[in-house]
Structure 1
């Protein structure tokens, strides 16, 4: 009798352990693939502009020489790959609290910078946002990320309203109290009353003294991107 009970207990324990293993594996898969929302697409000039760009003029539009400032409709944030309990996910956080300025001469941006309020960056997870503001970025001490041009950006020509041109930008990125040189491709688009600029800056976390999170079943890749879509108005 006692032996039979022990055998039953063993079977129940084995079945229980197997059930837990299945739940630990299948649970995150089901949540990520069927419950959790898909991450937003990368910021793009295909996104609707905040200012009116519906003008159909094919002409060059207003002269762009002079001073410009980041206006409404601008966004910036991060995109990084995570491993969540063995499942690959993409984490995206964004904010509209972006400021900046740009000086244009002819077809070149001769100076400019933009600043992102990191404490206002939000993703689809309050827990992730708490870790981002706290142990990851320490936004109380380092509340902002800043990019500043160190070389002119040559767009080649002034596009007509609605048209896009590409260029390469070089400058200095300051994050978490550390500054590094960066270069990346960007796109610019004329609107009826200004223009928009879109790009993605690759970031290796160790270069900025940031330790990629790795705790509680969550691991983050060592590299990510700062995405931005800036709408410029006359200063």
Structure 2
């Protein structure tokens, strides 16, 4: 029992602090399309992401990440033009954001590096519309990097997104906002943790 307690304490102290998004984080969309009768998927991705999460004790007390939606790229320049102009209107709404609403409790296993699944809630702002959402996240700590991945179903009409379909390309009425975020430790120690603990719980996509 003493050894287990010591291990948990060491794991906890190793992750406490503020973590920031790494340059290889990815956010993007995935939609089902039918092009001239052939079913396919439209996929766009970007790594233009900024954000952070704060761990105090055994909780994620704050987290945020913001995405530069103007940088989304797919395998089709025609699709990219439609996404940037008509569909997501990135001139007027250049970023998307997710904000965590409540702390996330971390299990001893998660602190020690095991896969961690959690259902959490927050607010998502997309194309100028902000809504409360619930989502399932999968996270793990590996090689001093926290990886968080998940997806959010986006029903286009709920977010004032016009029908993406054009001429011979038919798109279903919803898609996925997908993310794989990697965080590296930026700030640790008593001063960092004390400063972070005084923040309101909020996080950004």
Question: Which of 146, 157, 162 is the equivalent residue of 2:97?
Answer: 146
Task: Give 2:174's aligned residue.
Answer: 223
Note if 1:83 corresponds to 2:34: yes
Q: What is the Cα deviation at residue 87 of structure 1?
A: 1.9
Structure 2 unaligned regions, length at least 5: 1-9, 187-205
Q: What is the Cα deviation at residue 148 of structure 1?
A: 0.6
2:131, 2:162 → 1: CA distance?
16
Task: Give 2:112's aligned residue.
Answer: 160
Task: Give 1:128's aligned residue.
Answer: 79
Q: Secondary structure at the residue paired with 1:63?
A: helix
Note if 1:208 corresponds to 2:159: yes
Give the total of aligned pairs.
Answer: 176
CA contact (8 A) 1:80 1:92 kept: yes
Q: Secondary structure at the residue paired with 1:129?
A: helix
1:220, 1:106 → 2: CA distance?
45
Give me the CA root mean square deviation: 1.6
Relative contact order (alpha carbons < 8 A, sep ≥ 6): 1 or 2 greater? 2
What is the TM-score of this pair, normalised by structure 1?
0.71
CA contact (8 A) 1:154 1:167 kept: no
Q: Secondary structure at the residue paired with 1:214?
A: coil
CA contact (8 A) 2:13 2:57 kept: no
Which has the greater radius of gyration? 1
1:96, 1:217 → 2: CA distance?
30
Task: Give 1:187's aligned residue.
Answer: 138
Note if 1:104 corresponds to 2:55: yes
Deviations 1:82-117 (A, max 9, x none): 121222211110001111111112332121111111
Q: Secondary structure at the residue paired with 1:103?
A: strand
Q: What is the Cα deviation at residue 154 of structure 1?
A: 2.4
- Give the strand-richer structure, 1 or 2: 2
